[in-house]
Amino acid sequence: MATRPTFTHRPPKRGVIGPFSARQLLLAAGSVIVAVVALVAVTTPLGSTGTGPPPPGASQYIFASPTEGLRVGALAPELNAKDANGNAAPLIDINGNPIRLADLRGKGVWINFWASWCPPCQQETPILREVSNMYRDRGVVLVAIQVQETADAGQRYAERYDLRYTIGADVTGSVFRAYRVYGLPTQFFIDANGVIRSVVQGPLTRASAIANVEAILPAASASPARTSESPAPS
């Protein structure tokens, strides 16, 4: 009786796509994803979501134990920094000009302590830019005090986001300490007589920024009386 031949050849395994197995495809996809994430991390500035500054929404960046700060109703301290010899000197803006509260008497002053590396400060930038532009001709000055960074860093940030408000370089952090700030951003709203009218810990919304600025408008520029629907200063 004839013996049937034994077939040892097996058909080749079929891949998910052509000759590639599911495992090979998953490994390839993972490599692509890692490469894309790395590229984005290298090329995207911290906090950036597009060509302009990112939208608001983050909370305050806390880096010290909260302490009792300056009181509402107190006279705001002068913006004195320290020079290389430790002597008091006016805070200097990124263009090399001195910033003195005494020179701003008669105007409302909005002080914003910030840093270019601080995500909530970055996210608040569009609001500062918009609201300061709205009230520049109505007697309100925004002084954004950059904490422990060089004037060059502030200049680059201002150019990148087309910022026209005053940016002071508090390189030694002496103004920051005089105002007893423990987180960024921190805001002080000062009236035309140099008196602190409100303090805000953390970033502002557009509505709260406008409400606080309206409260320090010089008398000649003050808006009509608020309605019951108008936001109150925070």
**What pLDDT, in 10s, does the model give residues 177-229?**
999 999 999 999 999 999 999 999 999 999 999 999 999 999 876 655 443 33
Judge contact between 31 and 100, C-beta under 8 A.
no
Residue 60's pLDDT is 86
Each residue's pLDDT tens digit, 122-151: 999 999 999 999 999 999 999 999 999 999
- Give the domain 61-221 fold: Glutaredoxin (3.40.30)
The CA-CA-CA angle for residues 118, 121, 125, to 5°, reads 140
pLDDT band for position 81 (cuts 50, 70, 90) = confident
Chain-centroid distance, C-alpha 140: 20
Of the candidates 113, 87, 103, 112, which has an alpha carbon nearest to the alpha carbon of residue 173?
A: 113
Given a cut of 80, whether residue 2 has pLDDT beyond it is no
Instruction: Give the pLDDT confidence of 177-187 residue by residue, as tens digits.
Output: 999 999 999 99
Q: Would you say the C-alpha torsion 44, 47, 53, 55 has a positive or negative sign?
A: positive
